[in-house]
């Protein structure tokens, strides 16, 4: 039996173990902390790498973020609190009996490819309790350490910070809103973490200032009819439209809708880039807090003095606390440069997962991608693919030269889509990415004229669709697709009301489809 080393037991590591078992491989997982969950496990004391804050609620809805053969229980809310996510990881681990494969309190120190042989990897580990190190040999390795390991904390970009007498820290240290009552707080950075912390602290602080260099588009979690936004927007049909319509059309349509909710120009948030130029910030409360004056938008910081901050437009404010929500850098300190080199958040990976230099493709990076959508189904799809390659059932990964070519192509496609920034080195479109991995294992779901197919085509692109046919087929997948709408509505039915609920807005999607067809017929 081939042995596979899984590094990390977060969202990606758990599904890696499960996929190994499915393919008849023997997984051995090393996790340096004492429990599963990775960054979703809330710990009040300082934890290495990223950690959610006490109030973190996920920004992808439950039907879109589940593993494809383990639906999230009916009664769980659509957007789950971090404790619920942990509960779900527990359910998944129990259902497939994953815990017995995990060695906790064990760090991986290095992975090295054997000189001779067919791609075996030597793995050095350290028991964090006894500090003993030992070596093992594995047939293959799945790296599941996440990409939020290193906070990016560019203090030299902020002149005078060393003189600043107030408190300042990176958002990865932030845990809870207590302790900021009556303070003047500045948040630097308008990503998802920046938005969440700004809203939370604006309720406690005397005044909250939110500083941005570029601005951002802000999207609601709650979409038409109160359905989760990713349920409505991530369908095969809308993504087909994305592919057919010119990108500036899409931008015009979406930006118009976002501005209809609140004018990004008037609120001081209007970014320099178009909607598709960067991932939007998902936040439902930002406009409320700006309109009620709790959050004041400010320019980029020019310099710090002892008690004050001066902004690029000359505005000066007294500030007590600064939170740098400036994001993360990723790295794989246990991989030698000959396997994978990471420079300024850039690394060369075929389909964001295969280093071309590894002999016989015996090492893959899982979850090293930043999609506009949930990471769990992506990691799962990557693991299903990787395990089949390890098993030797799929020997058609391209040769290293062809991989390198494809990596160059991938890099230039990304550059065309997103503006240049270290934040945009691993971005991708969720649907297109998952589809391209899926196509490497088996073809599209076969469609016939059934209700299920209508859901697959017009409904949300839920992960169960990738278990309908072929390798890894799951008998319940069809039923899960037909009942997904019910699972979305179930947690909301806590009070009986009369009359009937509105159904899924197929109309809007049909409109997009028609628009796409007309466009295609006229212009292509
Ligand atoms: C604040 C925050 C909010 C987020 N919100 C969302 C969201 O709403 N929706 C979404 O889809 N994504 C979100 N993300 C993205 C997040 O990366 C994924 O949701 C997911 O947690 C990634 O899981 P992972 O297993 O790849 O990595 P992680 O969860 O980071 O797990 C990596 C694990 O590997 C272990 N490890 C690391 N190095 C070693 C080593 N050398 N040896 C042994 N073990 C090691 C770590 O201890 C950890 O347990 C968020 C990220 C952050 C930081
Ligand atoms: C890992 O370490 C933690 C705390 O350091 C401890 O509570 C736990 O029991 C350890 N787990 C194992 C499996 O050794
Ligand atoms: C975290 O939030 C919960 C309520 O959601 C609260 O009971 C708990 O005390 C909080 N923990 C900390 C450390 O603030
Ligand atoms: C590569 O791996 C496959 C499947 O694991 C194996 O059959 C093959 O012999 C290996 N090739 C080389 C060159 O080692
Ligand atoms: C998602 O779909 C809704 C309509 O259902 C639309 O209002 C919104 O602009 C779309 N958002 C994106 C980002 O496509
Ligand atoms: C959710 O939040 C995380 C972390 O802040 C971010 O990386 C991710 O892109 C967000 N997802 C979506 C769909 O916006
Ligand atoms: C459609 O496909 C499903 C399986 O996906 C199958 O059970 C069903 O019989 C098919 N229906 C027709 C009419 O072919």
220-247 pLDDT tens trace: 999 888 899 988 878 777 777 777 778 8
Answer yes or no: do 411 and 340 share one domain: yes
Q: Structural domain of residue 83, as residue ranges?
A: 3-149+329-440
Length of the chain equals 524
- CA-wise closest residue to 407 among 369, 459, 353: 353
**Are 57 and 165 in the same domain?**
no
What distance in angstroms lies between residue 179's CA and the mean position of ligand 3's atoms?
13
Contacts of 99 (CB under 8 A, 6+ apart): 36, 93
Digit-coded pLDDT (tens) for 99-111: 999 999 999 999 9
Q: Is the pLDDT of residue 443 over 60?
A: no
Give me the chain's average pLDDT, please. 87
- Structural contact between residues 325 and 211, judged by C-beta atoms closer than 8 angstroms: no
Task: Output the ligand 5 site: residues, CB below 6 A.
Answer: 223-224, 229, 232-233, 254, 257, 505, 508
Residue 30 lies in a domain: yes
- Ligand 2 site-directed mutation target among 31, 104, 107, 130, most atoms within 8 Å of CB: 104
In a domain, 523, yes or no: yes
- Going by pLDDT thresholds of 50, 70 and 90, the confidence category of residue 489 is very high
Ligand 1 geometric centre to CA of 38 (Å): 5
pLDDT of residue 441: 67
Any domain includes 127: yes
With beta carbons less than 8 A apart as the criterion, state whether 219 and 258 touch.
yes
Classify residue 112: in a domain, yes or no.
yes
Strands 184-188 and 207-211: parallel
State the closest ligand 3 atom to the C-alpha of 178, by its place in the atom list counted from 1.
14
pLDDT of 242 reads 74
Nearest alpha carbon, ligand 4 atom 10: 118
Q: Where are the alpha helices (DSSP H) in 131-191?
A: none
DSSP 191: S
CATH of residue 179: 3.50.50.60
pLDDT confidence bin for 359, thresholds 50/70/90: confident
8 A C-beta contact, residue 111 and residue 293: no
Asked whether residue 197 falls in the same domain as residue 121, the answer is: no
Cβ 392 under 6 angstroms from ligand 4: yes
pLDDT of res. 500: 77
Q: Give the orientation angle of helix 376-391 with respect to helix 11-22, to 10 degrees.
A: 40
pLDDT at residue 461, as a whole number: 84
In-domain check, residue 223: no
Are 38 and 81 part of one and the same domain? yes
Model pLDDT for residues 164-221, shown as the tens digit of each residue: 999 999 999 999 999 999 999 999 999 999 999 999 999 999 999 999 998 999 999 9
Identify the domain boundary among 404, 422, 440.
440
Identify whether the C-beta of residue 378 lies closer than 8 Å to the C-beta of residue 366.
no
Does 345 have pLDDT greater than 80? no
Report the phi/psi class of residue 189: left, alpha or beta, with left for phi > 0 and alpha for psi in -120 to 50. left
Closest residue CA from atom 13 of ligand 3:
44
Judge whether 118 and 360 are in contact, CB under 8 Å: yes
Pick from 123-132, 296-305, 406-415: least confident: 406-415
Measuring from atom 8 of ligand 3, which residue has the nearest CA?
54
pLDDT of residue 175: 93
Does residue 26 have a pLDDT over 80?
Answer: yes
Q: Give the orientation angle of helix 236-244 with respect to helix 451-458, to 10 degrees.
A: 40
pLDDT at 131: 92
Note whether residue 193 is domain-resident: yes
Q: How many A from CA of 55 to the centre of ligand 6? A: 15
297 domain residue, yes or no: yes
Q: Is the pLDDT of residue 503 over 80?
A: no
- Please give the sequence-ordered ranges of beta strands (E in DSSP) within 146-262, or none if there are none: 150-151, 167-170, 184-188, 207-211, 218-219
Residue closest via CA to ligand 4's atom 7 equals 392
**Secondary structure (3-state) at 323:** strand
**Residue that is written with structure tokens 């799809």 in the block:** 381
pLDDT in the model for residue 472? 83
Which residue is closest in CA terms to ligand 6's atom 7?
Answer: 370
Question: What's phi and psi for 240, nearest 5 deg?
Answer: -65, -45
Looking at residue 430, its pLDDT comes to 64
Please list the residues that pair with 428 across neighbouring strands: 371
If asked whether residues 212 and 238 sit together in one domain, one would say no
Among 465, 470, 462, which Cα is nearest to 393's?
Answer: 470
Out of 45, 47, 54, 85, mutate this one to test ligand 3's pocket (max ligand atoms within 8 Å of CB): namely 54
Write the pLDDT tens digit of every residue in 257-293. 999 999 999 999 999 888 887 888 999 999 999 999 9
Band (pLDDT 50/70/90 cuts) for residue 445 is low
Say whether both 420 and 357 belong to one domain.
yes
Ligand 1 atom having least distance to the Cα of 65: 11
How many domains does the structure of the chain reveal?
A: 3
Considering the domain boundaries, does residue 256 fall inside one?
Answer: no
**How far does the centroid of ligand 7 lie from the alpha carbon of residue 244, in Å?**
29
Would you say 174 and 53 are in contact if contact means Cβ atoms under 8 Å apart?
Answer: yes
Domain end among 279, 295, 326: 326
| Residue 216, both tokens | 């951002």
Residue 444: band (very low, low, confident or very high) from pLDDT cuts 50, 70, 90:
low
């Amino acid at each position: 039996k081939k042995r596979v080393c899984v590094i990390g037991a977060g969202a990606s590591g758990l599904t890696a173990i499960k996929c190994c078992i499915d393919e008849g491989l023997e997984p051995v997982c090393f996790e340096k902390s004492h429990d599963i969950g990775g960054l979703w496990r809330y710990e009040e004391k300082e934890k290495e790498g990223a950690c959610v804050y006490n109030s973190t609620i996920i920004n992808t809805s439950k039907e879109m973020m589940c593993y494809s053969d383990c639906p999230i229980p009916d009664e769980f809310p659509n957007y789950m609190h971090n404790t619920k996510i942990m509960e779900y990881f527990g359910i998944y681990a129990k259902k497939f009996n994953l815990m017995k494969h995990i060695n906790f309190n064990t760090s991986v120190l290095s992975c090295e490819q054997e000189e001779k042989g067919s791609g075996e990897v030597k793995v050095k580990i350290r028991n964090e309790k006894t500090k003993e190190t030992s070596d093992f040999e594995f047939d293959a390795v799945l790296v599941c350490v996440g990409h939020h390991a290193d906070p990016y904390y560019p203090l030299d970009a902020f002149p005078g910070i060393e003189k600043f007498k107030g408190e300042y820290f990176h958002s990865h240290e932030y845990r809870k809103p207590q302790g900021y009552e009556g303070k003047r707080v500045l948040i630097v950075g308008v990503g998802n973490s920046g938005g969440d912390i700004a809203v939370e602290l604006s309720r406690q602080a005397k005044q909250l200032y939110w500083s941005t260099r570029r601005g951002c588009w802000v999207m609601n979690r709650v979409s038409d009819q109160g359905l989760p936004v990713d349920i409505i927007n991530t369908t095969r049909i809308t993504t087909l439209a994305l592919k057919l319509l010119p990108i500036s059309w899409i931008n015009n349509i979406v930006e118009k809708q976002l501005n209809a909710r609140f004018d990004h120009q008037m609120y001081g948030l209007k970014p320099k880039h178009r909607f598709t130029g960067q991932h939007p910030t998902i936040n439902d409360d930002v406009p409320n807090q700006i309109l009620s004056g709790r959050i004041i938008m400010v320019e980029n910081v020019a310099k710090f003095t002892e008690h004050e901050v001066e902004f690029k437009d000359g505005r000066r404010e007294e500030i007590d606390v600064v939170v740098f929500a400036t994001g993360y850098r990723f790295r794989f300190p246990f991989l030698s440069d000959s396997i994978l080199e990471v420079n300024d958040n850039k690394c060369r990976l075929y389909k964001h997962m295969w280093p071309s230099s590894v002999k016989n493709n015996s090492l893959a990076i899982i979850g090293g991608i930043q999609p506009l959508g949930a990471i769990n189904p992506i990691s799962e799809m990557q693991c299903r693919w990787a395990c089949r390659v390890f098993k030797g059932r799929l020997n058609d990964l391209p040769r290293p030269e062809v991989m390198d070519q494809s990596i160059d192509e991938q890099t230039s496609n990304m550059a065309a889509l997103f503006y240049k920034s270290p934040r945009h080195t691993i971005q991708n479109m969720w649907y297109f990415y998952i589809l391209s991995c899926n196509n490497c294992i088996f073809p599209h779901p076969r469609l016939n004229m059934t209700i299920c197919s209508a859901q697959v085509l017009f409904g949300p692109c839920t992960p169960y669709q990738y278990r309908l046919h072929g390798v890894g087929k799951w008998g319940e997948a069809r039923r899960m697709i037909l009942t997904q709408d019910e699972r979305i509505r179930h947690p909301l039915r806590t009070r009986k009301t009369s009359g009937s609920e509105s159904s899924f807005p197929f109309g809007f999607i049909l409109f997009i489809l028609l628009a796409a067809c007309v466009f295609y017929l006229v212009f292509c």
